[in-house]
Amino acid sequence: MNNLHGSCLCKAIEYELDRLDMPISHCHCHTCRKAHAAAFVSTAGVMREHFRWIKGQDRLSTYESSPGKLRHFCSICGSHLMAERLAQTHVIVRVATLDDDPKMTPQAHIWTSHDVSWLEYESNEKCPEWQT
């Protein structure tokens, strides 16, 4: 498999990884929902030795959202790229920041006990274009 590349919205920061080492899951926890301004965030674990910053590491900002959990994001556009706990052997990549198709599909929804009442999984209604 070829390396996967990812970046922030403004392209000031870029990273590369050899592969996703863990399945993609959708995290519904309160802190992910707030950090990403979304109902859930798609994540996957990558072993540290398979992840590298290739551009703009000096533009990274870090926020410790809970004790020991560091969230790394672009200081310019605010895109959240990766999270980590320093004692763990892997980092947690935000799959939506990949520029390449990981050729994997999500395997699980986690922390669904934190779901919000307005989240609806199955809807056949089309959203008016002005709302997207």
Look at residues 132, 98, 130, 110 and name the one whose alpha carbon lies nearest to residue 33.
Answer: 110
What are the tens digits of pLDDT across the range 18-50?
999 999 998 887 888 888 878 789 999 999 999
Residue 17: its H or E element: strand 14-17
Give me the domains of the chain, ranges plus CATH numbers: 4-114 (2.170.150.70)
Structure token pair of residue 49? 């030795």
Q: Whole-number mean pLDDT of the chain?
A: 88
The dihedral region occupied by 52, where left means phi > 0, alpha psi between -120 and 50, and beta the remainder, is beta
pLDDT at 126: 58
- In whole angstroms, what is the distance from residue 132 CA to residue 127 CA? 7
Structure token pair of residue 109? 């929804």
Write the DSSP symbol of residue 80.
E
Higher pLDDT, 89 or 109: 89
